Amino acid sequence: MSAARLGYLGPPGTFGEEAAIKADPRAEHVPFPSHAAIAAAVEAGAVEQGVLAIENSLNGSVAETLDILIHDSTLDIQREVVVHVVHNLIARPGTRIEDVSVIYSHPHAFNQCRRFLAERLPNARLEASLSTSAAVEAAVAGDLGAAGIGTSRAAELYGGAIVAAAIHDADNNATRFVVLGRGKQLPTGHDRTSIAFTFTQDRPGSLAGVLDQFARRGISCSKIESRPTKAVFGEYVFLVDFVGHQDDEAGRDALAAIRPLCAEVKVFGSYPRAE
């Protein structure tokens, strides 16, 4: 279902905007300064849905988004979007790569372009920015010798030139985004369900007992991890993504079976898997 207004992590020119356009090209795309602000805007009704990064193929899960889902949000995951990450070195038109002495970007982008930076620009100073888009804007507006790592759209938006294209180290770099809104999605036959659960106390075999309930029903758990409860040091919330819908017979039975084993079970949503 198309959203009239769809929030994303701005400013324009970020991978968040790319995910928003891919998720719903017909919506009005509204930038926000943080994932928490996006979720709060959806909760308040300022936008109907919001796009939040949840996992990168190289850097792993996005802790901020997981904590929002666990602790702060009553929203449901409506669908997911996967964006292929392409980083470019962008500067003022006329800048040559040998002119570059300072590079702006988000820390994740620096990490994902380490080999290129070490080989081609070992003496350049790296300056962290809040986003790849802000990095490109600062570089283009700055002195000759400044460059930013960002998207080709950011180059277009801020009048920059791509000095070196596709400078990321790994071609399989991709980020998975989830679209948060209200309401359950109907089964499609090609779904993923995301849940979180806790235990009353730490006992040997507790986690294995929960996972066994999925195995008994032939359900594949595609992702398993944990986050601190933020209540007591050493206590954790466990997060599982499993293949299937919470309203499928197997999924429904598995969730019913694990509830007595857990202190709390929270279903973030069942939604169509991205191709």
Segment 230-256, tens digit of pLDDT: 888 878 999 999 999 999 999 999 999
Q: Say how far residue 137 (Cα) sits from the centre of its chain.
A: 23
User: What's the pTM?
Assistant: 0.88
Residues 6+ apart with CB under 8 A from 183: 76, 78
Question: 15, 32, 110, 177: which is the annotated catalytic residue?
Answer: 177
Q: Is 198 a catalytic residue?
A: no
Mean pLDDT along residues 257-270 = 97
Q: Is 177 a catalytic residue?
A: yes
Cα–Cα separations (whole angstroms), residue 108 to 11, 87, 104, 172: 17, 11, 12, 15
Domain 191-272: which topology? Alpha-Beta Plaits (3.30.70)
> Are the folds of 5-84+173-181 and 191-272 the same?
no
Give yes or no for residue 42 having a pLDDT over 60.
yes
Segment 77-135, tens digit of pLDDT: 999 999 999 999 999 999 999 999 999 999 889 999 999 999 999 999 999 998 899 99
Give yes or no for residue 1 having a pLDDT over 60.
no
Class of domain 5-84+173-181: alpha beta
Structure confidence at residue 230 (pLDDT): 85
Mean pLDDT of the chain: 94
**Closest to 11 (Cα-Cα) out of 144, 106, 111, 110:** 106
Class of domain 88-164: alpha beta
Q: HSE of 161 in the Cβ direction (CA atoms, 13 Å)?
A: 11
Segment 204-229, tens digit of pLDDT: 899 999 999 999 999 999 999 999 98
Q: Say how far residue 264 (Cα) sits from the centre of its chain.
A: 25
Structure confidence at residue 3 (pLDDT): 65
Structure confidence at residue 202 (pLDDT): 80
Domain range annotation of the chain: 5-84+173-181, 88-164, 191-272
Question: 175, 197, 214, 268: which is the annotated catalytic residue?
Answer: 175
Structure confidence at residue 59 (pLDDT): 82
Structure confidence at residue 275 (pLDDT): 75
For the chain, give the percent of residues with pLDDT over 70: 99
Structure confidence at residue 177 (pLDDT): 97
